[in-house]
Amino acid sequence: MQDRLRRFGAGFVRGTKGVAGGLYRHDCLGLAAQIAYSSLFSLFPFLLFLRAVTAYIPATAQLGDWILRGLRELVSEDSKLYEIVRDSVFEEISTTSVTLLSIGALLTLWSASSAIMVGIKAVNGAYGLRETRSWHRRRLMAAGLSIAGVILLPLGILLLTFGSWIGERIGSHMGYGSILYGLWVGLRWPVAFVVLVGVVGAFFYLAPSKRQRWYAVLPGALFSVAAIIGTSVGLSWFLSQNLFQVRWLTYGVLSAAIVLLFWAFLIGLMVLVGGEINAAVQREVEAGREAARALIESAAVDDE
């Protein structure tokens, strides 16, 4: 038992050093900045797309109220982040235009897929793999992941932001002691976490040029999602405290861009760390297999 713990501890230390070294060698901070830039650049055409889409949805004003109500579930109404989002983003939900719809969708898809292309490059670097796929194939894969993310990520965010409000409606209509209400309260966070892990895990599964196994990408996906949630909550708390007495609203949209850029940088960095973790785990597993194979061969030679 002690030997196993000792080997596990030694492997954990080697893996941690490998992750730290990989982050430095592969310039993950710089790549995270590229991801943040592309992500932020995709936000503005996405807002154009959102403006065009919401104009076709009945009760647009109620939709904005629901979104802000869900945001208040994550941050307080007095939070600076809440004020930034309320004043800089949702006041724009009003206009209808087919041109905005088309241009917004295309620019969003291109910018988001560019961020994923940077992530693909980083993951290949973590595994020490040479890219063998064509540019067109990688771009199509990145576009597909972007579309999947646009569909699935809002589902996870919906469960996190509107989960409490939906639960209250279920409880008021069916009773707070009903089975459905109990299932909703108990499964809301786990289901949201699983959805987010599935999205990040799909990226880690498809990004490397060498085929991976699903279970092999889970460590990095679990870490990335947990770290993203933790850093998002931490950033929200930091902004709500306003420790440096920054007058956020004085800078208007610029302050929102600064906050969103830093948030996107943190998210990109956490995903890249997850990729380095998967690569480090794979190296440890392969080293263990090599050691076991060498031990078996040595035992066979001794028997002869």
Q: What is the pTM of this model?
A: 0.74
The neighbour count for residue 283, using CB atoms within 10 Å, is: 17
41-77 core/surface letters (b: 16 or more CB in 10 A; e: else): bbbebbbbbbbbbbeeeeebeeebeebbebbbebbee
225-247 core/surface letters (b: 16 or more CB in 10 A; e: else): bebbbeebeebbeebeeeeeeee
pLDDT attached to residue 86: 61
Cα Rg of the chain, angstroms: 23
User: Cβ contacts of residue 117 below 8 Å, gap of 6+?
Assistant: 138, 139, 142
Q: Which of 41, 36, 90 is nearest to 61 (CA)?
A: 90
Written as one letter, the residue type at 244 is: F
Print the domain residue range for 54.
2-303
> 85-94, 265-274, 277-286 — which is least confidently predicted?
85-94
* 13 has a pLDDT exceeding 70: yes
pLDDT attached to residue 99: 67
Mean of pLDDT values over 189-218 = 87
Give me the number of domains the chain comprises: 1
pLDDT attached to residue 274: 93
- C-alpha 105/C-alpha 124 separation (Å) is 28
Mean of pLDDT values over 40-61 = 68
* 244 has a pLDDT exceeding 60: no
SS3 at position 302 = helix
> 97-106, 224-233, 261-270, 282-291 — which is least confidently predicted?
97-106
User: Cβ contacts of residue 95 below 8 Å, gap of 6+?
Assistant: 51, 52, 55
